[in-house]
Amino acid sequence: MIGAACSGSTGSPGGDTASPASSHPPVTSSTTTTSTTTTSSTTTSTTTLAPPAPPAFDRRGVLANGQTNGVVVTDTGWVLPVFGGIDGGWRVWTPCARVADVTHGRYVDTVDVVLDPGHGGPTEPGASAPDGTTEAELNLEIARRTAGALETMGYSVVLTRSDDVRVPIATRAEIARALHPKAFISIHLNAGTNARSATPGTELYYQLESPESRRLGGLIYVETTRVLAKHDIGWVSLTDAGAMSRPNRQGTDYYGVLRRPVPVVSVLAELAYISNRAEAELLSSSFVQNEVAAAIARGFDRWVNTDELGSGFTDDPIFRGYGPSGAGFTTDCTDPVLDRTP
């Protein structure tokens, strides 16, 4: 199904081109004073963040990206970009891209990597395997293991979701914007072709205007395809699989997970085809999930520590269309309980 790939979309045609908010609320200090209560695991933190500015919205009424600094990780595990400090807490961007206030959590001003397990929640499972396993489930498994591999290397990591929940693209991108990471890596599995191939059909999308995104994509492509190709299974692939970019009609990045996080260096990995039974079975193996996770982490580490350019670039990809993929909306989203009062 070319043109309706599994990942983040452009949203409504022409409706997603609003400029990001230009003014960040100034962070007066990244220092967090933490005191832990003895009666529960709740961490109460106060910060010296500046008060929030009024939130800015795009033409569709969705919060505009680029108006938060740092995140609060709540004791229930939610990662909430911060507009600013309020009395006893923070004004935050919720998972469903709304504005709320929370009083409990841990303020984090930056990390090395934001990992983005694609899709999630009952209304957005992504692609699926012949046995019904969803892309959202496997994306999360691989992302968790990638986080573990990166942390073992000494990198700090935040995931955009840690459960089977819906998190719109705008929120995933804002988590990246808020944390100013070295890179944002969105993890997906593909669907849409049955064409047999001797090698994996991995597609690694990089940002059109970013040589560093291209280099990261090329390095993750090299590492992930090397571990996948060791498995002699019936792969499927488009003829132009590789590291590539994909423009939208306006000439910017088609995928919201690449366009919205700018200036954060971002890549989108379509690791393999979950729609192909053999690949779905392979990727359901915890051993293979660990192999792929370690490969993503190695690709990132090579990007940080070398000037290597990566390889596997597809310079003239097949036209994959301009149509929306349907994942860019913020409606049909129910925010979780963000704040557990002790």
Residues at the site binding Zn ion, with contacts judged by CB under 5 A: 6-7, 118, 126, 188
What angle is formed at CA 78 by the lines to CA 134 and CA 156, rounded to 5 degrees? Answer: 90
Q: Smallest distance from the beta carbon of 117 to Zn ion, in angstroms?
A: 10
Q: Smallest distance from the beta carbon of 273 to Zn ion, in angstroms?
A: 11
Cβ proximity to Zn ion: between 82 and 169 the closer is 169
Is the bond preceding 25 in cis, omega lying within 30 degrees of 0?
no
Q: Which residue is nearest to Zn ion (CB)?
A: 6
Chain Cα centroid distance, residue 159: 8
| Lookup: tokens for 235 | 């792969």
Q: Smallest distance from the beta carbon of 91 to Zn ion, in angstroms?
A: 31
Q: How far apart, in Å, are the Cα atoms of 177 and each of 34, 52, 56, 268?
A: 24, 16, 15, 16
Chain Cα centroid distance, residue 195: 28
Cβ proximity to Zn ion: between 7 and 10 the closer is 7
Cβ proximity to Zn ion: between 45 and 128 the closer is 128
Cβ proximity to Zn ion: between 4 and 18 the closer is 4
Cβ proximity to Zn ion: between 128 and 213 the closer is 128
Task: Evaluate whether 60 touches 12 at the Cβ level (below 8 Å).
Answer: yes
Distance between CA atoms of 198 and 79, rounded to whole angstroms?
A: 40
DSSP string of 215-252, one letter each residue: HHHHHHHHHHHHHHHTS-S-EE--TT-EEE--B-TTSS
Cβ proximity to Zn ion: between 188 and 302 the closer is 188
Distance between CA atoms of 318 and 310, rounded to whole angstroms?
A: 21
Cβ proximity to Zn ion: between 118 and 218 the closer is 118
Cβ proximity to Zn ion: between 11 and 126 the closer is 126
Q: Smallest distance from the beta carbon of 170 to Zn ion, in angstroms?
A: 16
Which residues have CB under 8 Å from 339's CB, separation 6+? 74, 76, 102, 103, 104, 105
Q: Nearest-CA neighbor of 325 among 222, 242, 256?
A: 256
| Lookup: tokens for 204 | 């690694």
Which residues have CB under 8 Å from 175's CB, separation 6+? 71, 79, 81, 114, 158, 160
Q: Smallest distance from the beta carbon of 319 to Zn ion, in angstroms?
A: 20
Tokens 């939208």 belong to which residue?
Answer: 248
Cross-strand pairs, 163: none
| Lookup: tokens for 145 | 């293991």
Cβ proximity to Zn ion: between 49 and 159 the closer is 159
Q: Smallest distance from the beta carbon of 238 to Zn ion, in angstroms?
A: 15
Q: Smallest distance from the beta carbon of 188 to Zn ion, in angstroms?
A: 3
Q: Smallest distance from the beta carbon of 268 to Zn ion, in angstroms?
A: 9
Q: Smallest distance from the beta carbon of 147 to Zn ion, in angstroms?
A: 18
Count, in order, helices (H) and strands (E) of the chain: 6, 15
Cross-strand pairs, 196: 236
